[in-house]
């Protein structure tokens, strides 16, 4: 597990991974800017019109609500966008470390990746929406809210990151090539990265690369045994 994480971090220097990082960050920031701006404007105007609040107070309340909503949506949006380019990340990692596996891979294509991305985003959004009421109740504890979101995203990311690496080899690899414990650790590391400002921008890329290493290294170990 530590070795897979170390390899994934070093893979950030691969040209193919750097290109995907640039593209996915640009699209994610654009989506957040559009959604955030629209949500802030709509909430601000709505609070002024419906509740008769001062425009300055409405703008402030709307800003806080928008930031909280975007925080909750970060995982869904970031990993939904990342899924559009996941095949490129996995392909770059496989080409550098597992050329035999790269030669056998069967890419999904843009249409398939888009559908998987929408599914991933919907699943992440659903899990986080379920976790939100619990997180709000635990807000008084200070750390309880963070733990709830970490656990929720651990469950989401362990599954989704494994799928990113598995899909290229779905014809000749078990549907769940990683055990439950491995998925939990994989998702937990990615979810922890999401909690750290700026580091969270790298979480989808590092997570996809780490899942790729875990799956192929496990396959190589099985062959040797």
DSSP characters over 37-104:
HHHHHHHHHHHHHHH---HHHHHHHHHHHHHHHHHHHHHHHHHHHHHHHHHHHHHHHHHHH-HHHHHH
Look at the chain and report how many structural domains it folds into: 1
Contact by Cβ (8 Å): 101, 216:
yes
pLDDT-based confidence at 142, cuts 50/70/90?
A: low
- Residue 156 inside a domain? The answer is yes
SS3 content of the chain, % helix, strand, coil (to 5): 85, 0, 15
Is 160 a domain residue?
A: yes
Q: Which of 6, 9, 164, 149 is nearest to 68 (CA)?
A: 149
**pLDDT(81) > 90:** no
Average pLDDT, the chain: 82
224 lies in some domain: no
Residue 110 pLDDT more than 80? no
Collapsing DSSP states into helix, strand and coil, what is residue 171? coil
For 88, the domain range is 2-219
Radius of gyration of the chain (CA): 19
Residue 98's pLDDT band, with cuts at 50, 70 and 90, is very high
Using CA atoms, how far apart are residues 68 and 209, in angstroms rounded to an integer? 29
Residue 225 lies in a domain: no
Res. 40 pLDDT band, cuts 50 70 90: confident
| pLDDT value at 95 more than 90 | yes
pLDDT given at position 169: 85
pLDDT tens string 187-221: 999 989 888 877 877 888 899 999 999 999 887 77
Q: Note the pTM of the prediction, 2 decimals.
A: 0.79
Q: Is the pLDDT of residue 39 over 70?
A: yes
Tokens of 7: 């390899």
The verdict on residue 181 lying in a domain is yes
Question: pLDDT at position 115, please?
Answer: 67
What is the model's pLDDT at position 200? 79
């Amino acid at each position: 597990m530590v070795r897979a994480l170390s390899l994934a971090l070093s893979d950030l220097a691969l040209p193919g991974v750097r290109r995907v990082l640039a593209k996915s960050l640009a699209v994610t920031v654009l989506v957040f800017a559009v959604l955030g701006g629209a949500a802030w404007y709509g909430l601000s105007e709505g609070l002024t019109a419906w509740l008769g609040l001062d425009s300055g107070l409405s703008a402030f309340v709307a800003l806080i609500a928008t930031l909280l909503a975007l925080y909750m949506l970060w995982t869904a949006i970031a990993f939904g966008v990342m899924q559009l380019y996941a095949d490129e990340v996995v392909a770059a990692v496989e080409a550098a470390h597992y050329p035999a596996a790269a030669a056998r891979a069967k890419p999904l294509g843009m249409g398939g990746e888009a559908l998987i991305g929408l599914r991933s985003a919907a699943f992440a959004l659903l899990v986080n929406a379920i976790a939100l009421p619990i997180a709000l109740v635990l807000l008084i504890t200070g750390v309880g809210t963070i733990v709830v979101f970490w656990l929720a995203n651990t469950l989401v990311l362990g599954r989704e990151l494994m799928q990113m690496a598995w899909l290229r080899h779905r014809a000749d690899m078990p549907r769940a090539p990683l055990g439950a414990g491995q998925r939990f650790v994989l998702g937990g590391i990615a979810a922890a990265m999401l909690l750290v400002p700026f580091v969270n921008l790298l979480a989808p890329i590092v997570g996809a690369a780490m899942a790729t290493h875990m799956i192929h290294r496990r396959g190589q170990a099985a062959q040797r045994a």
